[in-house]
A and B are shown apart, each in its own frame.
Chain A
Amino acid sequence: MKLNLSKWMICLGLVCLISIAFIPAKANADVPYRTFFEDSNGRSIPTRPAYIPAGVVAKDIYVDNGNGEMVYSPLKRPQDIFIDGNDHIYIADTDNDRIVHFAADGTFVQEIKVPESPLKSPQGVFAAENGDIYIADTGNKRVVKLDKKLQLQQEFARPQSSLINETFIYEPTNMVVDSRGFVYVVSKGSYQGVIQFEPGGQFFGFFGANATEVKVMDVVRKLLYTKEQLSRQVRLLPPIIRNIDIDRQGFIYTVSGSSKEQVKKLNIRSENVWKELSFGEKLAFSQEERDKEVQLSDLSVDANGNITVIDKNLNVVSQYDASGKLQFFWKSPTSSMAIMGLNQSPVAVATNSRNELFILDDALNLVQQLKPTQLGAAIHQAFMLSQGGKYKESEQNWEEVVKLNALFSPAYYGMAQAAFNEGDYEKAKDLYKLAGHGQGYSDSYWQLRLLWFQKHFSLIANSMVISLVVFFIAARLKRKYKIALPSNLRWKWLRQTLMRQLKHAFYILKHPLEGFSDLRFLNRGGYLSAFVLLGSTVLILLVKTYYTGFSFNPKPAADINGSLIMTGFLVSWTSWVVCNYLIGTIQQGEARFKDVFVGSSYALFPFVLLALPLALISNVLTLSEGSIYQAIEWGILIWCGLLFFWKIQSLQNYSVGETVVNILLTLLAMVILWVLVFIVFGLASELAGFIYTIYQEVSK
């Protein structure tokens, strides 16, 4: 009961206190933020945390003030953090014009100011394997390289090349150095890409430039505007690269403010390995945050290749595995309180060899240190093993994950992979179902079905022969003795008419044009039969949604709103009938309302007839036969569509061209109808609100 009002369970906002940014802390929470993962349906689900706060770094810095006194000297708007191979921590303490160096346990070692050529607002720092330190000395527009003894060795000043014109801005904000000693520099506002220097300092070229994002409006503008107008437009430029990191294999990662390819994993030829992936999770606790956009500011790659990405704008930390798959993400609640583990303005992130996260915050002027929990560590390990194809080994880790959080669905996926790999398809099928993974389920089922067929081949063959024989005999017998339906029902007349009317639906399938006109002129259809057909359509629609095989409909039934499907269908059908009738009357159509109504019901008959068998078949089909399923489904829809067409043609007595016009007008009328309905409702609720407000004012 305790967690009833906890922040995670409350959809952020009491109804009456609607604008409360409702974030009361979860009772007894050890961790001040809630971690989420995404299930196969893209829902964010809370989980036990993967990381817990482990302290802060850079809280107590005392430096010699020159007179032998140790004075307190906190960070001031620091912009970058780097952790080297020995877990030593370097922070670019921008507004103090220095780099601060801490040991692995967070104790202060020294400050680096380069007295022979003082730093000015340095925004980036990088320490190479051999102990060289590279500093993006932003204020001095250079990158400096120091040796182990902090002696200035080299400066990377503005590159000189024919590729670089005068407007190019060179203000390095961060850099990485690869194993060959090439330096990749990110410069403020540089849309050309990362500047690549040779170890000697010569300009080598641009690297990893982003592609220009062209929006629809830009295309429209280009079509409509004159040359002069276009020249006055702001030039379309590629998104700027914000930050950079490098992993052990030498892949270079860039973070950009773009709407796609936010994170790129670049190989040495500057090709993006992660083309189709999206990064940065949106998690908003209040209306204002809902309007904010994802804006990644930095990323870090740990020893296992996991990527941690931070978003300064939304204050979200998200973590992906080495293949770029989302593992989990969390967000610090908005608060002015400075609390351990919560960020206010995260600018940079780094990981040490123990996979601990260090998040630099330029509002707190501190580093928040987070360490992986048992769950976090197990998930990392399991993802890594699964990723490497070591399914068997991963199984144990996944089991640990499930014990810690039985709701973590990616674990079932991992276990399913392991089971599938071992050939335990039955288990794999069930696990894939738990994980909500249609493809996997289908593959396991395919295997199972194959096995079943192999095992029962003789039985199947025999029974097919037998059933054929039985069928022939039955057909013979039927011709001999005409079997009548039992007629002990009351309301004989009703039954007869209704049965005849319903049977007529079959006739329509064969002879649509005549069939529809018979509906009216031979009284082969009435409201009752129409309602029966309509009712069965709704029923079958629901049954089909519910019973379609898991491969084709991996969403759990509880997540599909049955009543929504039902109302959606009925509302659109009704508005079609109404609009079609109205348009018909203007267009010299001959159909009465009854005809349109009844005809539109009869036109749904193919669906009534075939949808159910299709749903049943889908349970034994796998995705490899998906095209068959799709073809049948489309076939049904097209058949219904054609029947609608013929219905209009026949009942309204139109030519083909008139029918097409009639359909288009009907669709237009439906749109107008709905716009009107929404306007009326909107205005009415405004009016009601207005009256209520007045009443409240007066009655106060």
Chain B
Amino acid sequence: MKRLFVSKRGLMTVVVCIVSIAALASFAIAGPLADKQQDEVKVSAQAAEAKDTSGASAVVKPAAPNLDKGEYKQIAESKYLTLKANSGTGHFTVTDKRTGHVWKSFPDEKGYIEKENQGKWKANLESPLLYSYVEFNVRQDLAKEDNLKDGKGIVSKFEATGQGFKVQYEIPDLGFVIPAEVRLGDDYVETKILQDGLKDERVFTEAELKTKKDNEARLVSVRLFPFLGAQTSEEENGYLFLPDGSGAIVEFKKDRGGTNNYYSERVYGADWAYSANTIFSIRKPVRMPVFGIKSGKQAMIGVIHDGSEYANLVAAPSKTFSQYNWVTAEQNFRFMYYQYTNTKKTAGYVSYTKDITASDRSVRYYLIGRKDADYVQMAARYRQYLTEELGMQPLQANGNKLELQLHLLGADSERGFLRDSYLPLTTTRQAQEIVQELNTIGIEGMSITYLGWQRKGFSQYGGSFPLSSKLGGNDGMQQFVDFTHAKGYEVYLDASSYSFNNTGKDGFRRNRDGLRDIGASVMEYYTRGSDKKNTFVSPRFAEKVILDELSNAQALHVDGYVFGQGIGSLLNTDFNENYAATREETKQIQQRIFETTKNALGHVQVEDGNVYALQYVNHVQGLNDDISNDLFVDRGVPFVQIALHGLVTYSANYANDSDDYETTFLKGIEYGAVPSFIVTYAKSQQLLKTRSLGKFYSTYYKDWLQEMAMQYQQYNEALGDVRNQFITGHRSLADGVFETSYAGGKRIVVNYNAEPYAGNGWIVKPKDFAVVKQGGIEWLKNGL
């Protein structure tokens, strides 16, 4: 401690010296230079003025909406698209040669009513660029929002490249220079904010400082072409697609109640390192950085390609701010955080990070090459993106049996009179018994995930190996795994516990190896019913521990790990100096963990994971089958499921732990999922004794044997033979009746209503589903 102190003081002395020397030196040199600099500024100012007056084309002064008055010149052409651009504003239009649909980087003029778009939003709608900035010398806790027009911004450069054009926006008052590139791909147009050349600092000369104050304006966020594809609701013929939960649809509606109809969510969820003193969003996190717009017969899907971890997804339906429905990516360069000023963390202030987080930020807009496309085609295009850009592979066809996702709760610590003890809930021997029993009642495919297998149980993080002898020990686990392999099943171990540590095992020292937030505090949380703190582990430390222990898992013969939480689901910057990692680096660390685990064990799965983890996994657990149900959202659709079906298998929440058993089951059938249960050998009441498992309501396996068998059979009959096929269609046949169709032609109709639904020669019973093959009825089953 003392040494640190001394060195800090030493450092400060050095800094002070350097600063004073520099100041002296600058006085000496600045004299003769000052005049010259002033001259230069004058020249550039004149240049700017000249541009200002030289014609409408150079100034951002398009009428709303930006009608094509001949300023749009063809710039580039690709396989399917042609690009026209306005060199004065940087706005562009893209024409899809396959369909003839035209997409504009500005709001569509159709249905525009002047009086409904007034004030700031009128200028916003006209601008190719919205940005926000903080003035550190004025209010460091406030990001001001502005647009290029009101901010007196100019287009200072415009040059065509072969595939598109480069444009440079400048806001001279603030000293911001934002270079961007628009590029055509085969069927997409990519807009990119370039890191190279990005400036957000105005250098004031001495002379200027006499008359003006340097507000220290710095860039916070940019929305490039925020109204690309934006439409009014006058015709009510389209919708916005948001990646909320399984996928949410916001219809274009003229009238909409409520006041707070606004969507803004961080891609991959909040960064906890910046989250002190903030209220977390109660929406489901954005797991895939995609969004879409359908208007009339045309549809497109936007994918945040580069820098998605720093983006927010922002959307608003009409009447919230303006007449337009829009959805866009907001690229963040600085982040708000709360700086505590006392140790008790009761006082503090809000500020923005001083340093810029710059990287290339691009969004690709894929235009759907089909007339009358909808979210199914959007999802299909995204599926193509997942295979082409992220390297996901279609599922190999091996058999047509689904695998029941069976989760076993191993053990947890039991609350005791004097001290806690270990409470086994499903030992490896008992697990064998459960599996045997399930096997005899006809469950042919099974993928087993062991939870709470760690040495000290479910809620004890760190020191996973060797397994407790009370659970069966390493040998018991190995025997169990061999037994299940002999039956043709797979066994995975839940390894999301590596995200935390509360035992100090694995050589973990809280102060050295804990994940730290921007205020350098170690991040910790309490679990309900326990006074023990759980510490987040630095991602780099977690990686090290996992790599060290992979051989132990290998020795147990398990098929793989299931990651979640801090590995694949939560994405946090790490301010621990020993393991510092940016959000982008954390993402890469997590990807490395997935990759090495897959290489070592053969497989890896993820629970409620972000899209960057999906390329490594063979199954996604806990995939959202619901949406956050914002009141301005009109319905949920299985976008994520359509994109993933045929690439990986997925399951939703444990059926016996879901809030609504029946709906969860029907949704699973509709969304093409795999059944999933969580059970224990011990009676459910035992869970109340444990430290953390009181959250599972009913896990005694005998209570659920019948349901497991029934669900497995039902799922198999519905989805077994299409498990490798892509979903090609999804629609609502009536209120509460949905049809999902697969590439092979199989159609599944699910009826959520209390009344039967009659189709063309076939009937779906209430709360049931039916499989329809071309030409009519295939079979009907009683769902539950």
Instruction: Identify the A interface with B (CB < 8 A).
Output: 1-6, 8-11, 13-25, 27-32, 45-49, 52-53, 56, 59-60, 72, 74-75, 333-342, 364-366, 373-374, 402-407, 434, 542, 545-546, 556-560, 562-563, 689, 692-693, 696, 698-699
Contacts and interface: CB of A to CB of B under 8 A. Distances in A.
A337 B280 CA distance: 11
B630 A11 contact: no
B526 to A, nearest CB: 4
Contacts of A74: 257
Interface string B678-704: 000001110111001011011110010
B407 to A, nearest CB: 9
A689 B257 contact: no
8 closest cross-chain pairs (CB), A and B: A406-B684, A16-B521, A72-B255, A558-B415, A340-B629, A11-B526, A28-B653, A30-B659
Interface in B1-54: 4-5, 8
Contacts of A47: 697
Contacts of A373: 659-660
Interface string B395-420: 00000000000000000001111100
B577 to A, nearest CB: 12
Given A8-B695, A47-B697, A546-B417, A15 B524 contact: yes
Contacts of A11: 525-528, 530
B439 interface: no
20 contacts: A1-B451, A1-B496, A13-B526, A16-B524, A17-B517, A17-B523, A27-B624, A28-B622, A29-B626, A30-B664, A48-B659, A53-B629, A336-B260, A338-B258, A338-B260, A340-B631, A366-B258, A403-B703, A405-B698, A542-B417
B625 A28 contact: yes
Nearest to B280: A24
Contacts of A366: 257-258, 631
Given A1-B451, A339-B629, A46 B695 contact: yes
Contacts of A406: 683-685, 687, 697-700, 703
Interface in B543-592: 562, 564-565, 570
A49 B608 contact: no
A32 B627 CA distance: 10
A563 B517 CA distance: 35
A21 B276 CA distance: 9
Interface stretch (B147-155, B341-349, B725-733): B341-349
Interface in B62-97: none
Interface in B471-512: 494, 496-497, 500
Contacts of A28: 608, 622, 624-626, 652-653, 658
Contacts of B629: 32, 53, 339-341
Contacts of A48: 659, 697
A29 B523 contact: no
Interface string B647-670: 000001100001111111000000
- Majority DSSP secondary structure for residues of B touching A: loop
Given A10-B525, A19-B346, A366-B631, A4 B418 contact: no
A335 B281 CA distance: 8
B288 to A, nearest CB: 15
Given A8-B695, A13-B526, A405-B698, A337 B630 contact: yes
Contacts of B698: 402-406
Given A10-B525, A19-B276, A28-B653, A3 B695 contact: yes
Nearest to B687: A407
B429 interface: no
B622 A17 contact: no
Which of B257, B281, B283, B342: most chain A Cβ within 10 A?
A: B257
B278 interface: yes
Contact of B628 (A32, A333, A405, A693): A32
Given A9-B528, A542-B418, A699 B660 contact: no
B607 interface: yes
A72 B261 CA distance: 17
Contact of B280 (A20, A29, A60, A402): A20
Contacts of A59: 257, 631
Nearest to B517: A16
Which of A16, A340, A558: most chain B Cβ within 10 A?
A: A16
B526 A56 contact: no
B279 interface: yes
Contacts of B353: none
A364 B342 CA distance: 38
A8 B693 CA distance: 12
Nearest to B451: A1
B526 A16 contact: no
Contacts of B624: 27-28
B522 interface: yes
Contact of A10 (B282, B528, B684): B528
Contacts of B417: 542, 545-546, 557-558, 560, 562
A692 B343 contact: yes
A617 to B, nearest CB: 21
Nearest to B527: A9
B659 A405 contact: no
B277 interface: yes
Nearest to B257: A74
B252 to A, nearest CB: 15
Given A11-B528, A27-B608, A560-B417, A2 B282 contact: no
Contacts, number: 236
B526 A15 contact: yes
A406 B418 CA distance: 26
A60 B626 CA distance: 24
Interface string B599-611: 0000000011000
Which of B417, B699, B700: most chain A Cβ within 10 A?
A: B417
Interface of B: 4-5, 8, 254-255, 257-261, 270, 272, 275-284, 341-346, 414-418, 451, 458, 494, 496-497, 500, 517, 519, 521-528, 530, 533, 562, 564-565, 570, 607-608, 621-622, 624-626, 628-632, 652-653, 658-664, 683-685, 687-689, 692, 694-695, 697-700, 703
Which of B254, B526, B692: most chain A Cβ within 10 A?
A: B526
A364 B653 CA distance: 30
Nearest to B524: A15
Given A16-B523, A340-B629, A60 B694 contact: no
Given A24-B280, A27-B653, 19 more contacts: A2-B565, A2-B607, A2-B621, A4-B500, A6-B695, A8-B528, A14-B525, A16-B517, A16-B521, A23-B282, A24-B282, A30-B626, A52-B659, A334-B279, A337-B260, A339-B282, A366-B631, A404-B697, A407-B697
A21 B278 CA distance: 7
Given A2-B622, A10-B526, A25 B628 contact: yes
B276 A17 contact: yes
A333 B628 CA distance: 13
Contacts of A333: 282
Nearest to B415: A558
A365 B257 contact: yes
A134 to B, nearest CB: 28
A18 B345 CA distance: 7
Contacts of B608: 2, 27-28
Given A27-B622, A557-B417, A335 B282 contact: yes
Contacts of A364: 258, 631
Given A25-B628, A29-B659, A374-B662, A335 B607 contact: no
A412 to B, nearest CB: 9
A559 B418 CA distance: 10
A365 B260 CA distance: 12
A354 B687 CA distance: 34
Contacts of B519: 16
A335 B279 contact: yes
Contacts of A336: 260
Contacts of B343: 689, 692-693, 696
Contacts of B270: 24
Contacts of A5: 525, 565, 570
